[in-house]
Amino acid sequence: MNPLFAIGIYWHLPILLITFSLVYSATRHDRWDRILAESVGWMVRIASFLGMIGVGLYVLSSYPAYWPYLTGAGGAIFLVYWWLTSRKQDTPPAA
């Protein structure tokens, strides 16, 4: 089995992810459509964040000799993501 999935505690994380997202979103809104939309957003963000860290650690442990290139590639991806998101925020809303 892939060592990333062999550790049992990872299988319990979706419970925490779903519960946290739903409860946190429900304390911010009263309308169900907004609660569900925000909770889905939180689920995606948290899962992406944890997933990126997990994949990064797995790749680094599998290919330890290439860590400078992998770290550089990760940094470049982060900078592109940051640039794209900051561009999106600067765009004025359509009239």
The contact set with other proteins (CB under 8 A) reads 7-9, 12, 15-16, 19-20, 22-24, 26-35
Q: Which residues contact 43 (CB under 8 A, 6 or more apart)?
A: 17, 18, 21
Residue whose CB is less far from other proteins, 11 or 64: 11
Residue whose CB is less far from other proteins, 30 or 90: 30
Residue whose CB is less far from other proteins, 53 or 73: 53
Residue pair 50/13 in contact (Cβ under 8 Å)? The answer is: yes
| Closest distance to other proteins from the beta carbon of 3 (Å) | 15
Q: Which residues contact 63 (CB under 8 A, 6 or more apart)?
A: 70
